[in-house]
Amino acid sequence: MAFAILNNLRADDPSEGVKAVKVPKSKGHMTWLEPQVEMYRAHHKLGTVARLALELMLNIAARRFDAHVLARQHISDGKLSWRPRKTQRTTGKMLKVGIIPHFQAALDAMPRSDEVLNFLVTDYGRPFKSAAAFGNKFADWCDAAGLKTVLCDDGRERNYRAHGLRKAALTALAHAGCTGPEMMQVSGHSTLAQLQVYLDEVD
């Protein structure tokens, strides 16, 4: 309305005095727990891209738009090194995360290709064109593994999806005794306040 008045499109502001309605804060994505992880592993065996995707995201607590572009060239001295897309616009922070046994086993079980370096590829052996495309495929893998929709205590239905693995990985780090700053070296968060949403779920 301010724009309309400034540009002589309106003479008055009908929204003046209207207050925004406060809605309850969303609980966000479903956090995977050990039963869901094991259910997924039982269905998607080692040697499949579906299994590799799970282990990669648990290893690096990745957002899906980082996970789908990571490739063999990001491995150096037993660590994955990359700059998260989100930090490219802010701190430029580089992450270096050690490769844990579950991801290494999944990586070793995959056929090696000299044409495509990306860890995660489509059914046609090509890199995913976007994070959304990868997210949609991961949703299919979750459904195939029998992970059901959950009715949450806020009345909303939610599904187990890729971002919930980021939450699961950070929760596991907290349960393992990692400090907030140590967790930030994996997650890429720049402040403890940003990490707090994950710490709040720690039992």
pLDDT digits (tens, 9 = 90+) for 72-131: 999 999 999 998 887 777 777 889 999 999 999 999 999 887 777 899 999 999 999 999
pLDDT of residue 40: 97
Q: What's the token pair of residue 194?
A: 């940003």
Q: 196 pLDDT exceeds 90?
A: no
CA distance linking residue 91 with residue 83, whole number of Å: 10
Domain range annotation of the chain: 31-199
Which one, of 148, 136, 194, 197, lies nearest residue 171 by Cα?
197
pLDDT of residue 23: 59
Give the number of other Cβ atoms within 10 Å of residue 29's Cβ: 17
Q: 70 pLDDT exceeds 60?
A: yes
Q: 19 pLDDT exceeds 90?
A: no
Q: Mind listing the pLDDT tens digit for each residue in 133-143?
A: 999 999 999 99
pLDDT of residue 24: 56
pLDDT of residue 25: 57
Q: Mind listing the pLDDT tens digit for each residue in 22-58?
A: 755 555 678 899 999 999 999 999 999 999 999 999 9
CA distance linking residue 162 with residue 32, whole number of Å: 9
Positive or negative: CA dihedral 31, 33, 36, 39:
positive
CB 67 within 8 A of CB 60: yes
DSSP letters spanning 78-128: TEEEE--HHHHTTT---EEEEPPHHHHHHHHTSPP-SS--BSSB-TTSSB-
Region of poorest pLDDT, from 61-70, 74-83, 87-96, 185-194: 87-96
Q: 186 pLDDT exceeds 60?
A: yes
CB 155 within 8 A of CB 179: no
pLDDT of residue 29: 74
Q: Which residue has the higher pLDDT, 199 or 132?
A: 132
pLDDT of residue 28: 65
- CATH level 3 topology of 31-199: hpI Integrase; Chain A (1.10.443)
